[in-house]
Amino acid sequence: MTLLHDLHPQALRIAEALRARGEKVAVADGATGGLIMASLLTAPGALNFFKGGGVVYSFKARNVLFDLPRDAYDGMVSASEEYALLQARAIRDRMGASWGIAESGSAGSSKHPMGVVSGRSVAAIAGPDGVEEVAILETDSDDRIDNMQAFTRNALNLLEQIVTRPRGE
């Protein structure tokens, strides 16, 4: 089976939860390279729960996608909780979604421009009523493909945990 086949049942559960809540999600994929979005889009009728997003893989892409002033990132490095949360809030607000999910990490097999160690990923969620959560993953691996898959699973697990939780918890 492929990754998307493996993640499809989870995408269906996330889609069902978002539809039941009448909410939509926007995604900022980082080291996941679009796999979070691709996984969610395996659910039929994705327009009912998915607003859009993008792959944030360069400073140019970050600037265009989020439209934040440069000083918004002062003192931050990628693959940190504050960096991922800033991006989750920004993608949510920019796309007009209820939820924003962002992943920032270093998949490996090349040097990260900010010096982030290979195998580190931070997934962040920003939602309604001030809900914000992060999930940090350290694989201790330099295997790019395995890391991208693990980072995607980590992000989707966080999203599913939050949107399937009863409101107010």
The predicted structure's pLDDT at residue 48: 97
pLDDT at residue 33, as a whole number: 95
Q: What is the pLDDT of residues 8-19, one digit of tens each?
A: 999 999 999 999
Q: Does the residue 169 lie in any domain?
A: no
pLDDT at residue 104 tops 90: yes
Q: 90 lies in a domain?
A: yes
Residue of higher predicted confidence among 58 and 168: 58
Q: Give pTM, 2 decimals.
A: 0.93
Q: How many domains would you assign to the chain?
A: 1
Does any domain span residue 168? Answer: no
Q: In the structure, what pLDDT confidence band is assigned to residue 114 with cuts at 50, 70 and 90?
A: low
Q: Return d(Cα 35, Cα 20) in angstroms, integer.
A: 24
**Is 98 within a domain?**
yes
Q: What is the CATH number of the domain that holds 91?
A: 3.90.950.20
Phi, psi torsion values for 27, nearest 5 degrees: -125, 135
3-state secondary structure the chain: CCHHHHHHHHHHHHHHHHHHHCCCEEEEECCCCCHHHHHHCCCCCHHHCEEEEEECCCHHHHHHHHCCCHHHHCCCCCCCHHHHHHHHHHHHHHHCCCEEEEEEEECCCCCCCCCCCCCEEEEEEECHHHCEEEEEEECCCCCHHHHHHHHHHHHHHHHHHHHCCCCCC
Of 158, 164, 91, nearest to 124 by C-alpha is 158
Q: In terms of residue numbers, what domain contains 121? A: 3-163
Question: Per the domain annotation, does 132 fall within a domain?
Answer: yes
